[in-house]
Structure 1
Amino acid sequence: MAARTAAPRVHPSRQDQVPVERRRKRKRPEEHAGTKSFKKAHATNDLKSEIRSLKRLLQRRDSMPATVRVEKERALQTAEHALQKVERAKKRSEMIGRYHKIRFFERQKATRRLKRAKKALRACEDGDERRDELARAVDDAEVEINYAIYYPLEQHYVSLFPRKKQKDGDGAEEEEDEVEDGKEDVERQGDAEMWQMVRQCMAAGTLDDLRNGRLTQGDSSNSTSTLPDPAQASVTRPAEISGATTGRREIDGEDDADSDGGFFE
């Protein structure tokens, strides 16, 4: 038996007399309608809650079997270690975002200083008295580049070339950038101890360890065993500096003197 088709509501001859129905707009549901507004729980909250629960459980002086107590103590140590790891990663991310821009611009400035020093050294004759001074300037510029690149990411960055603040006519303070004014021959500042550590790591080949905080975590055995004597480091020059003076391109190029790397590392 054939299926019945639904009869039309209006006869075809009167279809043009029927007004056209307007299509109703479908309302979009509100994003937060009927839901509670709350912040997404961070991984540290779960770890802290687990640590508190384990500590309360271990503080009870009931008849807990020794095997269970050992298991809970190990779980507590694991949770505390995981919490330290998460908090360290969070701090590292914050420090990278906070000082990324200033490190980039100081690396550019140090690269330009190195190019000028090398150019002056090449133009200097063998018997010139300024040759030793220019050689030291080249060496210092190499350390400046590595200072900006390999300064520990988890520490507050101490600027090598801090901007000077000057007051305008209204008394408001404005920052003066020597790079924009063309005055790049400024006095180097920065952290003196970290400067020496960067120089030592250049000689020892441990710049990556310094950048990732493996030499500045308070472990004296780790920091002293990998760093050479400062007197030897002052006269030792690395054949190649990773990511700074060589690698992507030759730093002696004069045609691209104003373009120094990319913004992101």
Structure 2
Amino acid sequence: MSSTAIHPSRLSQIPRPKTKKPNRPKPPKPQPASTSLTRSQLRKKIRDLTRLLNPPSSATTKLPATTRIDHERALSAYKHELSLQQTSSKVQLLEKRYHKVRFFERRKATRALSRLNREFNALDNNNNNTSSADEESKKEKEGLIKKIHAAEVDLNYIMHYPPLEKYISLYRSGDSKDTNQKRVRIRQDIEKRMEEGTLDRGDALVEANAAEGFGGGVDVKNKKKNNGSNNNNNKKQGHDGNKNGKSISDKNEDEDEDEGSDGGFFEL
């Protein structure tokens, strides 16, 4: 017996080597959706997660319940992010395509509204200077109020047109019957939202219109109420209450002419 041999009585005291467990592949951890991903990257992640959640019938391994829930949440987030990017891309494309048409129509509608406001203020001042207004002037004033309201609807039609729809020109004639019906339907919807006061809610073009210097229309309903209280101030400060004696409508028209002369505005 050699000197290095272990006595049989001590074999039980020697620790046995641990047997290694076979390495099983772990399912990938779900990653949260990131806004920095491109559309191609989002589509790839959606494909990968869809295949992972719907394995073929021959697959032997199944995902744990908690892991499947995490993957389903990540898949839903990726789909939502992809939908937002596609919507934003479509809005930008349509804005770029109809930018010039909408600018010219918006300038035309703004000038028409300014002209009607000047006519209304001039007629109202003439009635205030006389002792009594005849029936003809009242009818003319009512007709101007209706025209002002229609001009406001036209301006808001251009400014708040549905951003995901192809723009239908407001002043173009000779369109098909379906196109004319769609124009009327959208215009009626804009008018309804004006009356409800929900015109600016969820409108993707509001900030862009405000940045270009185009505000909303004038409130015709409050025009009569405010007109009497502003008459005294108008006589002191000018036609529309401007201290320089120049009407606000004239200022808006001058601003439109300045914007129309800016060649850089049309660059796409």
Q: TM-score range by the shorter chain?
A: 0.5 to 0.7
- Closer, same or farther: CA 212–254 of 1 in aligned 2, 3 Å: closer
Cα shift at 1:47? 0.7
TM-score (norm: length of structure 2): 0.55
Paired residues in the alignment total: 174
Answering whether residue 166 of structure 2 is matched by residue 153 of structure 1, we say: no
Of 189, 192, 206, the residue aligned with 1:197 is 189
Residue identity matched to 1:111: T
> Partners in 2 of 1:120 and 1:256 — Cα distance?
15
Residue identity matched to 2:75: L
Percent identity at matched positions?
A: 33
Give matches, 1:173-184, under 5 Å. Answer: none
- 1:96 aligned partner: 95
> Partners in 2 of 1:91 and 1:251 — Cα distance?
40
- 1:23 aligned partner: none
Give matches, 1:205-224, under 5 Å. Answer: 205-212=197-204
Residue identity matched to 1:254: D
- 2:114 aligned partner: 115
Normalized per residue, which structure has more helix? 2
Larger radius of gyration: 2
Give matches, 1:1-265, under 5 Å. Answer: 43-60=38-55, 61=57, 62-124=61-123, 125=127, 126-127=133-134, 128=137, 129-162=139-172, 191-212=183-204, 236=221, 252-254=248-250, 257-260=253-256, 262=259
Cα shift at 1:111? 1.0
Q: Is the 8 A contact 1:115 1:251 kept in 2?
A: no
Instruction: Give the RMSD, CA atoms, in angstroms.
Output: 3.6
> Partners in 2 of 1:115 and 1:155 — Cα distance?
28
> Partners in 1 of 2:252 and 2:82 — Cα distance?
47
Partner SS, residue 43 of structure 2 = helix
Give the unaligned 5+ runs of structure 2: 1-36, 128-132, 206-218, 227-245
> Partners in 2 of 1:189 and 1:254 — Cα distance?
35
> Partners in 2 of 1:151 and 1:45 — Cα distance?
30
Cα shift at 1:262? 4.0
> Partners in 1 of 2:106 and 2:181 — Cα distance?
14
